[in-house]
Structure 1
Amino acid sequence: MGSATNQALAETTAALAAARGVDLTVARELFVAARELSETTHLSGALADSAAAPVARTKVITDVFGPSMTPTTVGLLSNAVQQRWSSASDLIDGIEELAVRAATIASDADVESELFEFSRTVAANPELELALGSRLGDASAKGDLVATLLTGRASEATVLVASSLVQQPRERRVRQLLSRAVRVVADERGRAVATVTAAAPLSAEQAARLTDLLSRRYGTKISLNTVIDPTVVGGLRVQIADDVIDMSVSSRLADLRQRLAG
């Protein structure tokens, strides 16, 4: 991600934090806007063209989305297109991230954990992952499938985020989409995500101790997402962003075998 996009994301995130009336309707409309821009490449290309005057790009947003979307959504989209983005794809990603953040702001539910649990469900069901990730089939039908699976089991915000993301994969795998959404939700709530792989569930005491240790090490609040994998044998494997702390027995055994093999 280029420096221009990083700055643009910072500006749009700040605008969202300052906006009034951010609710699930706004989040839903932002997802719709991202999907329409993804499907209309000449429009997204024009809106991401930094050579065009910001006022002209804002007028396009008002003309295209103003009649059907709330003023809050139109204001956020207008702010987004006034920024400099490294590419049209980055602009679409940025609006999609705004939608995830808006859904998080609008909900008191544990959206992060619910999205993580759904990602584990997808990972454990190859047929479901194939159905959601296939380039074939109607996008809205995929969204309806996710909504059917999650309604009554997850919050409205989580249903919205997951069902919207699967409708616009843009060459990304479903689990990749969900993992990114989990990180965005956590960031919006001021914490980082640690994915912990263990042979058995952690006790409440173990989880609290690990959370405290990681929080002190990284200087931020940490949210634990646990994956149970018997192949690690014992110990833990912890991943935070690109950092991996491997304290698993399986890793130590593999290292020992490598040393013995010379």
Structure 2
Amino acid sequence: MGSATTQALAASAVALDAQTVDLNTARELFAAANVLGSSKQLGGALADPTASVESRSQVVATVFGAQFQPATVAALNAAVSQRWSNADDLVAGIEDLAVRAASRAAEGVDIEGELFSVTRLIADNPDLELALGSRLGANDAKGTLVSTLIAGKASDATTTIVSALVQNPRGRRVRAMLSHAMGLVAQQRGGVVATVTSASALSADQQERLTAALSKSYGGRVSLNVVIDPAVVGGLRVQIADDVIDGTISSRIEDLRQKLAG
């Protein structure tokens, strides 16, 4: 990610926070990202740094103004007024805004936990992951499939996010998209997500102590997503974004094996 895109993402997120949004805002932003991703000419025009901000805003008004609510149009205008490294980054940035809007529209819902549950569902069903990640088949059918599978198990906000993402993968793996979305939701709510891998379930007290320790280390709220994997034997593996703390017995055994082999 280029520095221009990093700054554009931050500025766009701030602009979105100034708007009153609902779940329709999120749906419209996802739709806008889909339109721009499907049209290189349109995406290129809105990401063109040589074009004036006024001309880019006029394009937004022409294409989306009549069908989208004011909050969505304002968020799109804020996004296209920024300087992005390329058109693909603009599309991804608008998609990120959609996830953030869904998070804000359902502030009392544990979207992070629900997204994690969907991720585990897909990870535990290779055929499902293959079907959702395949380039064959209609994308809207994939959205319908995943919406049906999580019906009654996830909120409208989570269903909106998951369905939109699987319909527009743009070469990304499904679980990677969901993991990115989890991070965005956590960030929008002032925290980060820690994926904890353990050989057995953690007690409530263990989770509370681990959450407190990680929150202190990272200077903010940390949400835990716990994965049970007997292969780790003992200890914990904690991953927060690109940071990995591996204190599992299996990793120590592997280190010892490599030293002996070397």
TM-score normalized with structure 1 length: 0.98
Equivalent positions of 1:67-146 (< 5 A) are: 67-107=66-106, 108-146=108-146
- State, as a whole percentage, how many aligned pairs show the same letter: 59
Secondary structure of 2:136 counterpart: coil
Aligned mates of 2:215, 2:78 — CA distance in 1:
34
Equivalent positions of 1:172-191 (< 5 A) are: 172-191=172-191
One-letter amino acid of the counterpart of residue 27, structure 1: A
Equivalent positions of 1:1-262 (< 5 A) are: 1-20=1-20, 22-107=21-106, 108-262=108-262
Aligned mates of 1:182, 1:159 — CA distance in 2:
13
Aligned mates of 2:233, 2:25 — CA distance in 1:
46
Deviations 1:139-193 (A, max 9, x none): 1111111111112111000000000000100000000110000000010011011
Aligned mates of 1:178, 1:231 — CA distance in 2:
24
Deviations 1:208-248 (A, max 9, x none): 11111111112121111111111000100111111111110
Aligned mates of 1:73, 1:229 — CA distance in 2:
42
One-letter amino acid of the counterpart of residue 54, structure 1: V
One-letter amino acid of the counterpart of residue 187, structure 2: D
Secondary structure of 1:166 counterpart: helix
TM-score normalized with structure 2 length: 0.98
Which stretch shifts more, 57-66 or 250-259? Answer: 250-259
Aligned mates of 1:261, 1:66 — CA distance in 2:
65
Aligned mates of 2:184, 2:261 — CA distance in 1:
43
Aligned mates of 1:214, 1:54 — CA distance in 2:
42
Aligned mates of 2:85, 2:260 — CA distance in 1:
49
Which stretch shifts more, 212-221 or 161-170? Answer: 212-221
One-letter amino acid of the counterpart of residue 98, structure 1: L
- Figure out how many residues of one structure are paired with residues of the other and give that number: 261
One-letter amino acid of the counterpart of residue 31, structure 1: F
Q: How much does 1:12 deviate?
A: 0.6
One-letter amino acid of the counterpart of residue 192, structure 2: A
One-letter amino acid of the counterpart of residue 225, structure 1: N
Aligned mates of 2:257, 2:64 — CA distance in 1:
61
Q: How much does 1:136 deviate?
A: 1.1
